[in-house]
Structure 1
Amino acid sequence: MDFIMSCVGFAVGLGNVWRFPYLCYKNGGGVFLIPYLLIVFMGGIPIFFLEIALGQFMKAGSINVWNIAPLFKGLGCASMVIVFFCNTYYIMVLAWGFYYFVRSFNAILPWSTCNNTWNTPNCIEIFRQDDCQNGTIGNSSFGNLTCEELAEGSSPIIEFWENKVLNISDGLDQPGIINWEVMLCLMATWVMVYFCVWKGVKSTGKIVYFTATFPYIVLIILLVRGVTLPGAYDGIMYYLKPDWTKLGEAQVWIDAGTQIFFSYAIGLGALTALGSYNRFNNDCYKDAFVLALINSGTSFFAGFVVFSILGFMASEQGVDISKVAESGPGLAFIAYPKAVTLMPVAPLWAALFFFMLLLLGLDSQFVGVEGFVTGILDLFPGKYYMRYRRELAVAVCCLLCFIIDLSMVTQGGMYVFQLFDYYSASGMTLLWQAFWECIVVAWVYGADRFMDDIARMIGYRPFPWMKWCWSFITPCVCMGIFLFHLINYKPLTYNNVYVYPWWGEVIGWCLALSSMLCIPVSVVYKLFRANGSIREVGWDTSPSQGTPGRTRTPDPPRTGPSQAHCATALPRRK
C-alpha cells in the first residue's frame, strides 16, 4: 500500500488540479476525454509500467537501471538532470502557496482590497454584478462602464500577485532585490522537504499517507461547497459541454499527450527509484493500472471543483466564464483567490485551498528529491558506504537547489522561473526521454526478453499490448508530439507581452539540451572508449553486474523510502 500511496503522491500533483480542467474546457469539454484516454492507453500506461517494472527488476535507481544496455546509460543521466531541474523550480510554487496560506489567516484577505501599500491608483476592488449595476464599487470612477469592461481593470488580486508576491521587474535583465518574505517561505519549504526525506522510512513512513490523502478530503469539501453556489451548474456545463469539431484539430491531441506525460511523471527517473524498493515479486502490472486510474480520475474530478467555483465567480460578476477561466499559476494565484473573496467566510476557503495546494506539491517534491538522491547514492559501491552519506546527500541536494532558487525570489524571479518551466522539464525533454526509453528496452534489450523478466517477477506475462506499445505505438506517439512541438515552437513570453531577449532564449535552450544531449553524447563517448567493433559494442546489452534482479552484489541496507514509498518493501539488493 505504501508504494501506491507514494506514487499517488508523486504523480498526482498540481497539474491535475490547475492544468487538466482548463485543457478539457479549452479543447472541447467532454470531447477532450477521447484523445486523452486513447493516449493514456497508447503512451501513458505503457511507459509508466515500463519505468516501475524496470526499477523493480534491476533493483537500482535511474542511472544504474540502464545497466541492461550499458551503451545507453546516458538515459539515466538525462533523467537525473531533468528531475534536478524539476526539484529546483517546482518548489517555487509551494513557496508561493505557503505565502498565500500564511496570509489567509486575516479577517480581511489582503488581496481583496485596494487600500494596501502595493496597490496602484487604478485598482478596482472585486465587485459583484449588483454593485456594478448600482455604481457602488469602491476606489473607482467608472461612469457607465459595464461589468465586463470593469472586469478588465486592475484588480487587487493581480496587484497583490505582481506587486507584492512577485514584486516583478520589467525584464530578465533586471533581477532587482530579494523578496525576503517569499524567501523565508521558500526556506521553510525546503526545511520541510529535507526532514521528510533525510531518514527515509524513519521520517516519511506516516507523512506520505497524510500528504497523499488529505488533498482528496479538501477537494471533496471544496466540491460540496462549490456545487451549492449560484452559477455552479453553468460552470460545470462549460467544463463538460462537448464540441465535436475540436477532434479534428491537431492541437487537441498534442495537449492531451503533453498533459499525460506531465501528470504521469514520466521520464524523471523517480518512478524507477520507487519501483526499485519493491520486493521482487510485487505485482507492478496491476499497480500501474490502479495508479493510472487514480491519476486520471483525480484530474477529471478536480475539474468539477474548479469549474463549479469559476461558474460562481462568473455569475457573481456578470461576466462570461471564458473571462475567468485560467490555467497554471493563473488559476492558483489569481482566479481562485478572486473567487474566495466573493464567498462567505473567505479566509477559511482560502486557507483550505492553499493548504491543499501545498500538500499536493510537497509529496511530489519528496519523491522527486528521493529519486535524485537514490540515483546519486547508487553510483557509490557498498565499500564506500558512510554512516551519514544519505543525510549528507539530501542536504547537499536541498542546499544546491535552494541557492539556485534564490534567483527566483528576486524581482526578476518570475522570468527565471518561466525559463526553467518552459525549457528544462518541457514537453520536448520528457517526450525525447520517453521515446528513447521505449527504443532501448524494446529494440536494444529486447521487448520479449523484458516481458520474460516481468513474468519472472509477477508470475504471468502482461497482455501483449504492452510489448506492441513499447516497440511501435508509444515511440511513434512520442516522436509525433515531439516533432509537433519543435515545428510549432514559439519564443517564450510573459503574459503575452514581455518577449525574452535572445540571450534568455539561449539560456533556455541550454537547459533543455543539457538533458537531451546526455543520450547521444554518452553513446558516442562509449563507442570511442570501448574495444571491439561498433556493432559488437553497440549491441552489448549484458548487464555489467550479472543478471538483473537476481545476482547483483548486495549493498549495505539503506534507510531510503523502502517502507515509506513501497508496497511490500524489503531492503534493496537482497
Structure 2
Amino acid sequence: MQKRWRGKKKKKKKKKKKKKKKKKKKKKKKKKKKKKKKKKKKKRRRKKKKKKKKKKKKKKNKKKRRCLEYESSSRNSRRQEARRGEAGGRKGYFMDFETTRKSSYLENYTNVDLRLISSGVGMAMVLISFMVCLYYNVIVMYGMYYLLVSIVYMDGDLPWSKCGNSWNTDYCLTERPDLSNFTEEQKINVTLKRMDMNCVDKILAEDNMTMLSVNFTYNYTQTALSSCDETVLPSEEYFTNFVLRLNEVESLEDLGGVSIKLVFMLGVAWLVLFYSLRRGVETSGKLIYFLATFPYFVLVALLVRGVTLEGYMKGIEFYIIPEWEKLKDVNVWREAATQIFFSLGPAFGTLITMASYNPFKHNCYRDAILVAIINCSTSIFGGFVIFSMLGYMATVTNQAVQDVTSSGPGLVFVVYPEGIARMPVSGIWAFLFFFMLIALGLDSQFAMFETVISALVDEFPKKLRKNRVIFTFVCHLVGFLFGIPMATYGGMWVLTLMSNYSANYGLIFTCLCELIAINYVYGNTNFCEDIELMLGFKPNLYWKATWMVITPVAILVMLVVSGIQYEPVVYNGYEFEAWVEGIGFIMVGLPVLLIFCGAIYKVIQIGGIRAAMKPDPLWGPAHEEHRVGTKYATIRTTSQDNLTMSEVGELNSSQSVGGIANPAASTTSLNITSSGKLEDGVESNNKTGF
C-alpha cells in the first residue's frame, strides 16, 4: 500500500512539474509576443515619423517652387498672367525662360502680378495646351494598342503583314507587280484590275475617250486615271478597317459606335498620365530622364537597321535633294512654323511653366540655344531614320518614294509598321518603335498638361493647392471624357479636325500677341533690363531685331497669306462638310476670343487703357536680394496685404522712368529718388538692396 501511495505522489509531482513548465513556456511566449508587439509598434512609429518628415520636406519644396497661399482673401496669385514673351524657335525659348524666371519667385512677399492688358494671352495658351492634349493622348492610345499587339505576336507574323484576313478587301495588295517585262496591253490590263471602274468611266467620259481609243495607253492610265487606283497596303486596311473601323461610317454626321478596345486603351493612357503627374514635377521629373533619352537609342537602332535594307538610298536621296519650287507655297512655311512650335513648345505655355522652377540667376540663354540646336539635330537625324525605311518600302512595293510617303497618322500607323512587318524579327522591332512613340507622346503630354493644371492651381491656390492630387485626377477624367468621341468608329475624322484647327492658326496668332505684349506693351527696354539683372548682360541687336521686327512681321505675313490660300481639310479622300469646318473655326477663334476678353477685363478692372498698358509698380523679383537697382521699390512685407486696388492704381499712375516717385498715401514705403536712394523721412528696409 505504501509503495502504491508513494507512486501516486511521484506521479502527482511529475504532473505539477509539467504544469509549471507549461506555464513558464506560456509566460515566455507571452513575453516574446509582447516584445515583438512593442518592436512592431516602435517600427510603425518610426515609419510614421519618417513619413511625416518626408511629407514636411515635400511641403517645404512645394512652397519653394510655388507661390504660398496668400492671407489676403481679396487677391489671389496670378503668376501665369505675369509670364509673357516668346517669338518662334530660339527667340521664343529665350524670351519665355527669362520672363518667367523673373516672375516665378512671387512666394515670398510680392502679392502682385504684371497686370497688363495682355493677360488673356496666358489663358489662350492654357486652352491651346488642353485641346492639344486631348488628341495627343489619342495618338498615345493607338501606340499602346499597337504595342500590346506587337507583344502578342512577338513569335509570329504581325497581323498587318499579310492580306486575306477578315478585315481585308479585294484591293489589298502586299506589293505591286514589276511591269518592266510586260507588253503595253498587259500593263493596261494589270493596272485596270486594281481601279474603280465607275471612276474610270467618269474620267473617260470627260476626256471623250474609250478603252478602245488609240490614245488609251499605259501612260494615260498612270496619269489621268491615277485617282481611280484603290489598291491599299495590308497595314492600311488593318488600321482603317480593324483598329478604327472607319469603313463602317460614312461621314461625321454619324460617328458610329464606340470602340470598346479603344476606350479601354484611352483610359489606360489617361491613367498613366495621371500617375505621372499626380504630384506635379516631383513625379514627372523623374520619368523625363528615361523618356527623353530612350528614344535616341531606338532611333539609332532603327537607322542602323534601315541602312542595311534594300533601296534605302532612294528614300535618303528623296529626303536630301530639295524641291526649290515648294518654297513659293506659303502653306509649306505655315506647316514648318507649326512644326517648330510643336517641337520647341513656344506659345503653348509649357516653357513658361517649366522655367518657373529655375533659380533666378540660372543661365536660360545657354539653355535656349542648346535645346534649339539639339531639337533641330534630332529632327534631321529622325528624317534619315524615316526615309531610309520609305526607300526600302518603295523598292519592295515597286513604287516611287513620293507614292509611299504619307503624313500624320498614316506615316506612323500605316507606312512605317508596313516596313517593320517585312523585316526579320518584326515583333521586336515593332515593340521598340511603338514604345518609342509612347515615350515621345507622354514626354510632350507631361509638359502640356502640367501647364494646364499649374495655371488653374496658381489661379485658385486656396481651394486647389491643398487638394492638388484630387484636382489633377478630375482634370484627367475630364480629358478622358472629351477624348471618347475620338475613340468612336469615325474618331479619326475628329482627331484630324482637332489637329488641323486647335493648334494651327490660333497658336501662331497667340505667339504674335505675346510678342506684341512683351516688346510693345511691357516694353523691350524693360525686358532687356530684366535679362541683364538675371544674366549680367543685355541681349544684343540680333535678339532685339528678331523679337521686335523680323519674327512679328514674318508671322503676320504668314497668317494673312495662308488665310487667303486656305483649303478645306481632307482625310483619305473625305472632304469635311461646311458645318464641320465651322466647328474648326470655333476652335481657332476661342483662344483669340480669350485674348480680347482678357484685355477688356483688365481695362475695366484697372480703370483705363493707359493704366492697363503699364506693369504694376510692385512688379519685380520676389526675393529681396534680387531687387537691385532704381527700377524696383522697397517693399515692406508687414503692410503689403493692406494695399487696396485703388491705392495700387494710384501708385501705377505715378510711375516714371527713373523709378516710382510720389506714390499715393499708403502703408507701403515706395518713395525713391533718381539716384536710387530713399528720400529723407522715409523709413527704409535694410534687407532690401538697390
TM-based fold match above 0.5: yes
Which residue number corresponds to residue 514 of structure 1? Answer: 590
| 1:81 pairs with 2:161 | no
Greater displacement, 259-268 / 317-326: 259-268
Task: Work out whether residues 68 and 548 of structure 1, in 8 Å CA contact, stay in contact via their aligned partners in 2.
Answer: no
Match of 2:436 in 1: 356
- Counterpart contact for 1:76–1:269, Cα < 8 Å: yes
CA contact 1:223–1:305 (8 Å) conserved in 2: yes
CA contact (8 A) 1:129 1:316 kept: no
Q: Which amino acid aligns with 1:320?
A: A
Q: Residue type of the partner of 2:407? A: S
1:127 and 2:207 correspond: no
In 2, the alpha carbon distance for the partners of 1:46 and 1:417 equals 30
Kept in 2: contact 1:266–1:430 (CA 8 A): no
Q: CA deviation at 1:374?
A: 1.0
- Mapped to 2, the partners of 1:430 and 1:93 lie a distance apart of 20
Equivalent-residue separation in structure 1 for 2:526 and 2:602 (angstroms): 24
State how far apart, in whole Å, the 1-side matches of 2:284 and 2:561 are.
41
Secondary structure of 1:368's aligned partner: helix
Instruction: Report the equivalent of 1:397.
Output: 475
Relative distance call for 1:548 and 1:380 in structure 2 (3 A) is farther
Question: Is the contact made by 1:236 and 1:311 (CA closer than 8 Å) also made in structure 2?
Answer: yes
**Alignment counterpart, residue 431 of structure 1, candidates 508, 511, 515:** 508
Secondary structure at the counterpart of residue 206 of structure 1: helix
CA distance in 2, matches of 1:493, 1:294: 33
1:252-289 Cα offsets, whole Å, 9 max, x none, are: 43343332223222211111000001111110011000
Matched residue count: 498
Q: 2:519 aligns with which of 432, 439, 442?
A: 442
Change (3 A) 1:129 1:216: farther
Aligned counterpart, 1:3: none
1:28 counterpart residue number: none
Residue 421 of structure 1 is matched in structure 2 by 499
Alignment of 1:73-472 (within 5 A): 73-105=119-151, 106=153, 107-120=156-169, 122-127=170-175, 153-168=231-246, 169-381=249-461, 383-384=462-463, 386-387=465-466, 389-426=467-504, 428-472=505-549
Code of the residue aligned with 1:271 in structure 2: it is: L
On the 8 A contact 1:65/1:76 being kept in 2, the answer is no
Tell me which residue corresponds to 1:43: 88
Select 1:539's aligned residue among 599, 613, 621: 613
- The change in CA–CA distance for 1:43 and 1:282 in structure 2 (over 3 A counts) is same
The answer to whether the 8 A contact 1:67-1:73 is kept is no
User: Contact 1:66/1:76 (CA < 8 Å) preserved in 2?
Assistant: no
Tell me the equivalent position of 2:99. 54
State how far apart, in whole Å, the 2-side matches of 1:484 and 1:287 are: 33
What is the letter of the counterpart of residue 164 of structure 2?
A: N
Using the aligned pairs only, state the percent identity: 36
SS in 2 for 1:281: coil
Q: Which moved more, 1:460-469 or 1:349-358?
A: 460-469
Deviation at 1:546, TM superposition (A): 3.5
Q: Output the aligned Cα RMSD.
A: 2.9
**1:528 corresponds to 2:604:** yes
Q: Deviations over 1:73-94 (max 9, x none)?
A: 1011101110110111111111
Letter in 2 for 1:275: A
Query: TM-score, normalised on structure 2?
Result: 0.68
1:303-354 CA-partner distances (Å, limit 9, x unpaired): 1001111101111122111110122211101110111122112222211111
Following superposition, the deviation at residue 464 of structure 1 comes to: 2.8
Please say if residues 51 and 271 of structure 1, whose CA atoms lie closer than 8 Å, have aligned partners that are also in contact: yes
Name the CA distance, whole Å, in 2 between partners of 1:547 and 1:151: 64
Distance 1:101 1:422 in 2: 26
- Are the structure 2 counterparts of residues 206 and 323 from structure 1 closer, same or farther at C-alpha, using a change threshold of 3 Å? same
TM-score, structure 1 as length reference: 0.81
Structure 1 residues 546, 266: closer, same or farther in 2, change over 3 A?
closer
Any idea what SS the aligned residue of 2:319 has?
A: helix
Task: Decide whether aligned partners of structure 1 residues 352 and 299 sit closer, same or farther in structure 2, where only a CA change above 3 A counts.
Answer: same
Q: Which has the higher contact order (CA 8 A, sep 6+)?
A: 1
- Residues 315 and 246 (structure 1), Cα distance of their counterparts in 2 relative to 1, 3 Å cut: same
Q: Partners in 1 of 2:606 and 2:191 — Cα distance?
A: 78
Distance 1:302 1:129, change over 3 A: farther
What is the letter of the counterpart of residue 583 of structure 2? I
Contact residue 270 and residue 367 of structure 1 kept, 8 A: yes
The AA in structure 2 aligned to 1:108 is D
Kept after mapping to 1: 8 A contact 2:518/2:527: yes
Structure 2: runs of 5 or more not aligned: 1-85, 183-188, 195-217, 625-634, 639-690
Give, as a single letter, the amino acid of the residue that structure 1 aligns with 2:545: W
Shift of 1:154: 2.9
1:110 Cα offset (Å): 0.9
Aligned equivalents of 1:384 and 1:90: distance in 2?
A: 29
Distance 1:549 1:475 in 2: 31
- State the distance in 2 between where 1:77 and 1:301 align: 35
Deviation at 1:242, TM superposition (A): 3.0
Asked if 1:474 corresponds to 2:573, the answer is no
Letter in 2 for 1:126: T
Assess if the C-alpha contact under 8 Å between 2:259 and 2:488 holds in 1: yes
Which protein has the larger Cα radius of gyration, Structure 1 or Structure 2?
Answer: 2
CA contact (8 A) 2:129 2:448 kept: yes
Whole-angstrom CA distance in 1 between matches of 2:351 and 2:315: 35
Query: Shift of residue 246 of structure 1?
Result: 4.0
3-state SS of the aligned residue for 2:348?
Answer: coil
Question: Residue 144 and residue 345 in structure 1: after superposition, are their counterparts in 2 closer, same or farther (change >3 A)?
Answer: farther
CA–CA distance in 1 between the matches of 2:436 and 2:350? 22
Given the alignment, which residue of 566, 570, 581 partners 1:493?
Answer: 570
Q: Give the unaligned 5+ runs of structure 1.
A: 1-40, 135-140, 555-574
Q: CA deviation at 1:69?
A: 4.4
Q: Aligned partners of 2:111, 2:148: CA distance in 1, in Å?
A: 42
Closer, same or farther: CA 449–399 of 1 in aligned 2, 3 Å: same
Kindly indicate whether the alpha-carbon contact (under 8 Å) linking 2:330 and 2:562 is maintained by their aligned counterparts in 1.
no
**Which amino acid counterpart does residue 99 of structure 1 have in structure 2?**
Y
CA distance in structure 2 between the aligned counterparts of 1:529 and 1:204, rounded to whole angstroms: 37
The residue type paired with residue 456 of structure 1 is: L
